[in-house]
Structure 1
Amino acid sequence: MELEFLGTNAGVPSLQRNVTSMALRMFEERRTFWLFDCGEATQHQILRSSLKLSKLEKIFITHLHGDHIFGLPGLLSSRAYQGGTTKLTVYGPPGIKQYIDVSLTLSQSRIEYELEVVEHAGGLVYEDEDIAVESLLLDHRIDSYGYRITEKDKPGSLDLKRLAEYGLKPGPAYGRLKRGESIDLENGMTLHPSDVLGAPKKGRTVTVLGDTRPCGNVLKLARDADLLVHEATFMDDLKESAYNYHHSTSVQAAEAAAAAGAKELILTHFSSRYKDMEHLKPLLEEAQSVFPKTLLAEELMLFPVRRHDEG
């Protein structure tokens, strides 16, 4: 599980950075990737990356400001031409379906794959046997949502040495034990999964926030997250401007990460006044003074989602 940023600028693109979009790569876990927001030129950024639109499974939109959705119609239209034939689901606030329908209808775009659009107002947005996605409303000029992606715990690894001691060889019995089923041995003994399985592998949690001022739902979404992605539109000397524009500063993002007990923080959604990574260094330094495990999002770089031990 890795994050790849396809755009890190706020409001408008610059020569150095594109507007907001990020990919959660889960190729080992489910052979797909998910997209969070889709600012203008996101599909161009994907062409510059190792991502393939044919592997895109889901898109989560945080809010309907243009720098987060103007790339969506083009990407949806192009996906089929890049080998995308499987179902694609878009999740977002009320209004996202109308935006997509009108854009595709007026442009007479033909979608050759199944496209589902799910509008939500927070709560449990998606769940399957491996992962759950929850959402809460944030504090922005329009309804903006954050997403908490929780990977479910996995069974521990089989102890091959102990299995051999019980006379078991690789085969269907291994799978049954891994699934939590007990099996009867030839000597009449019952072998329970706890006899041969190590400790469960704790799932990871990633929190991706839309644009927001500091608010209580940020802390709820980021509670004990392995990785928090938080906007940092301004340095802290412009916190009054951040408040007026319904955004956060780098220090406020770091304070949220510390208060929520997050393990790592990545800052993104930077004002274009900070022209390049050199100009962003002071923003990083002031955030690290509050929360040391802070990084700056850099476009087309991979950030692993690390599995942190409890405590």
Structure 2
Amino acid sequence: MEFTFLGSSAGTPTRSRNVTALALGPRGPKPWYLVDCGEATQHQLLRSRYSVMQLKAIFITHIHGDHIFGLPGLLTSASMLGREEPLDLIAPPQVGRFIQAAIENSDSSLSFSLNLINSEAEGFQWQDEYFSVTAVPLSHRVPCRAFVFTERNLERQLQQDKLRANGIEAGPEWGDLQKGKDVQLADGRLLKADDYTCIPRAPRKLIVAGDNDTPDLLADACQGAQVLVHEATYTQDVAERVGPWPQHSSAEQVARFARQAQLPNLVLTHFSSRYQSGTEGTPNINQLAAEALRHYKGQLFLARDFDTYRLEKDFTLHRLENSG
């Protein structure tokens, strides 16, 4: 499971950070999924390994502009490139109206079906062959969600001794059972895949949260999760000066929650544009890291645009590269 940050800035872009977007794939960039789509996301894609032609679904956490203003351009560009494959858009209902208005008022059209799915519907769940996705309501100025990606269709391990004990020698039937298919033998016996295979590991589970001032809302969802991607818009001192109205989290808030939830990996993103990158200048992005590390002892990362992470089958998380 891999994910790449296409934007890590809150509200407005900076010279080194675009506004929010994250690409996620089960095995890399083919196929892949997009979580949020801030302005200029399609420009960021041009500097990445991801193509709109292999995009399977878009998930939008909430309606604020720094999370959706890139949608009309990305979708119409996909159309101009000849995309025909239908695309699921999982989002609040207002996002569909926003896209429709942009297309109707710009003499544009789409060459593919855009399937609008209400992320705020009660009991929401989306899945394909790779992931099951659920949503967790968060606390922000508008309705907002975190999306929980849980791996599906894990590889099966054959119970070979049991097969041989039942007189079933190696052959094509073994391959079908390992793929999870039940098998009818020539002698009439029906072999259930669940009876002759096991799944030797737990599924990988990644949570990508939208804007949120109450990390504790994710406590239940974080059980069994290996990675949480969460905003840390401010340091705690700045959050206290700004006041509660923006409804964002500080690095300290998120770090305290991650420690309490015993999360092994925490990736912070959505940093206020006031925080400068690099080692010079104040306020500096390194202040966010220092604050989080005072309260969290797991593996901590601060997102940078174009950084790619891989969550391995043994649940270790590695930062692979910065390809931008």
Give the TM-score, by structure 1 length: 0.88
Q: Which residue of 2 aligns with 1:55?
A: 54
Equivalenced residues, count? 307
Cα–Cα, structure 1 residues 264 and 215, in superposed 2: closer, same or farther, change >3 Å?
closer
Which is further off, 94-103 or 47-56? Answer: 94-103
Select the residue among 285, 291, 295 that pairs with 1:290: 295
Query: What is the letter of the counterpart of residue 2 of structure 1?
Result: E
What do the CA deviations read for 1:7-34 (whole angstroms, capped 9, x no partner)? 0000001111100000112246x94111
User: Does the 8 A contact of 2:157 with 2:178 survive in 1?
Assistant: no
Which is further off, 205-214 or 160-169? Answer: 160-169
User: Does the 8 A contact of 2:59 with 2:90 survive in 1?
Assistant: yes
| Secondary structure, aligned partner of 1:48 | coil
Offset, 1:184: 5.5
Q: How does 1:137-176 map to 2 (within 5 A)?
A: 137-152=137-152, 154-158=154-158, 168-176=169-177
Distance 2:83 2:244 in 1: 41
Give unmatched runs, 5+ long, in structure 2: 316-324
Q: How does 1:1-311 map to 2 (within 5 A)?
A: 1-27=1-27, 31-121=30-120, 123-128=123-128, 130-152=130-152, 154-158=154-158, 168-179=169-180, 181=182, 197=197, 199-240=199-240, 241=242, 243-278=244-279, 279-292=284-297, 293-308=299-314
Query: What is the letter of the counterpart of residue 246 of structure 1?
Result: Q
Give unmatched runs, 5+ long, in structure 1: none
| Secondary structure, aligned partner of 1:254 | helix
* Higher share in helix: 1
User: Does the 8 A contact of 2:182 with 2:190 survive in 1?
Assistant: no
Cα–Cα, structure 1 residues 273 and 194, in superposed 2: closer, same or farther, change >3 Å?
same
Offset, 1:47: 0.4
| Secondary structure, aligned partner of 2:34 | strand
Offset, 1:60: 0.6
Offset, 1:179: 1.4
Distance 2:295 2:82 in 1: 45
Distance 2:278 2:183 in 1: 55
The percentage of counterpart residues that share the same residue type is 34
What do the CA deviations read for 1:30-79 (whole angstroms, capped 9, x no partner)? 94111000000000000000111100010011111111111000000001
Query: What is the letter of the counterpart of residue 124 of structure 1?
Result: F
CA RMSD of aligned residues (A): 2.8
* Higher share in strand: 2
